[in-house]
Amino acid sequence: GSLFLGESSNEEKVKNQKNQASSQNKAQAPTEGMVPPVAFTKMLTPTGYSCEACENLEDEDCIVVLDHALSQMKASERLSLELKMLENKYDCGSSVSDDMCLSYLDKAYSSIDDQERLSLLVKSCYKGELKIVPLISGAENIAEVAATVAIPKVTEAVEELASTHFHRSCNGGCSTEKVSLAEAKNEWMHRADVMEVATQKVVYGNLTSDEIRGLFTKFQEEFDRSYDEKEEVLRFDIFKNNLKFIDALNRQNPLAVFGITECSDHTEAERSKRKMSQRWSDYDAMKASLPTEVVEAAAAGPSHVVGKTFDVSPHLWERGMVSWASEDDCAACEMFPGLGQYNTSFLPEQFDWRKLGAVSSVKNQKYCGSCWSFAAVQDIEGVHFLATGNLTTFSEQQLIACDERNYGCDGGWMYAAMQYIADFGGIVPDYDYPYKGIYMNYEEPTPTCDQDLLNRKLEENGRDLGHISGFQMVAMGGEYERLMETVLLKNGPLSLAVNANGMEYYVRGIIGCETIAGKDYCNSATIDNHTPCDPTALDHGVLAIGFGEQENTEYWTIKNSWGEQWGEDGFYRLERGNNKCGVANMVQHSVFKKMEAKL
């Protein structure tokens, strides 16, 4: 049977219900002189109009009604909504009035493909941004109005306008009595979710010195800090500098809250202990460790690698083959057949593997840069669950102590860890080889591998042993994010490397800026430039377990390995669709290997 997962978008709901409507309920687009069909008339009468009424109309009728509803809005409201629907792609020059700018936006908006425009309109209608109003109550006039509200295509005219009038900042020079373009572009600040998050943020820079001292005292009590007199002076200075850093993070991320955490008295060097060293976080080094043929093909775009297998012998991978995932792969379909319907063109708005049992409890790597092992192991846990029905917690310690391709607390690469497990023959459960959880410096040696334990477990080959045949590449660049969504949904959580700058102070919300506030704000002087999220410094290994959308802001749901007290119960959300923090630069996934277990 089918399985309902997540919530399909409203536009998908409308489209599906319209397609299922019987032929006698189908409405033809009214033209002058025609008596409008009942369904179309009902939608436009004062007592019967609503977003849901579009479900009884064909696409061409629905778009006529919604286009007209947009045309009836106040100029300032229409300017704001069209700018939002066009995703801030167009700016008017300072010499252009708002009226003229609105005219340009009207033409740009009308040039969009009909289906895309209908999708934007329906979504705006359901969100309450676009209100359907009755056209004219008399049925004899509806046909006349409907025949004239459809806006003609003006693609060539828009391209000409774009070359001369768009893509120049307003700089406050296009204000009119109705509305300024700058105000329209800052509409995001009035979003309900942005305003709600803003109320949860503390601006530490506005506090007095006594209030800062009070916060430090409270921090010491809450996190059981005890310093001698000299160290307390040092730690207080570090604490104050970190508050400035937190303020910058809060400005940079309109939908996320950053605050005082257990790391608030730590230096940058101390915070880095939970991340991979530069040797392992450098994106170029990661790519250099992979076969050149694969890296070069990936750089040419998804069409050059998706679904393909590369023979890379001889290479450090003993098996000599590297494959790339495709939207047709579906390791989850045996357990969840309904997932087979999805592809890169059709995905739910919300999806979360926690709800389906493929994600183990949150772990804590402590002050060791072993994040790579947690990401790789938890990827395998999901694959094992989908193949066997058993969610087994596997051993990170096996990788840290025994995987000689990687380097314990200094760092490592998830694909190399997966290759080690495939070559060795399996990974043991955490309860057989538990994580040490001790503080380790990079200078300390990697823990000794308990080879006897591993050999014994391998010989027993119990059902709790994790087997994989290797790994697949999933993404190596921002253009692969849509594929990431599909592969995650159909094959389980994905291990990936990401830049974790500032994550120590994350409390809740969606990390990101550009898809929320636009590039102008995010790159402006109001944003402190010392908090970059460098997509080429991938210093943290994590697990993507789902995706979602909040008020038109798309995000990834990611499992961290810093304990349940961190973030949103050990998880966080990251802006999706613009390769935020390099989230799509190095994504890989393990492939299950079926074995005959000994009883």
Report the catalytic residues.
371, 540, 560
Beta strands 540-550 and 506-511, pairing class: unpaired
Q: Could you tell me which of 32, 7, 44, 18 has the C-alpha nearest to residue 115?
A: 18
Question: E strands, 396-528, where?
Answer: 468-475, 494-498, 506-511
Q: Could you tell me which of 72, 153, 149, 147 has the C-alpha nearest to residue 107?
A: 153
Place of tokens 């966080």: 572
Enumerate the H helices of 150-277 as residue ranges: 155-164, 181-185, 192-198, 209-222, 229-252, 268-271
Give the amino acid at 98. D
Please give the biggest Cα pair distance in the chain: 90
CA 577 to chain CA centroid, Å, is 6
Separation between Cα atoms, residue 572 and residue 574, nearest integer Å? 7
Contact 281, 537 (CB under 8 A): yes
Given its phi and psi angles, is residue 217 left (phi above 0), alpha (psi -120 to 50 degrees) or beta? alpha
3-state SS of 122-154 is: HHHHHCCCCCCCCCCCCHHHHHHHHHHHCCCCC
Kindly report the backbone phi and psi dihedral angles of residue 444, in degrees, each rounded to the nearest multiple of 5, phi listed first: -75, 150
Q: Could you tell me which of 350, 351, 257, 254 has the C-alpha nearest to residue 550?
A: 350
- CA dihedral sign of residues 554, 557, 562, 568: positive
Cβ atoms within 10 Å of 140's Cβ, excluding its own: 10
Separation between Cα atoms, residue 537 and residue 560, nearest integer Å? 17
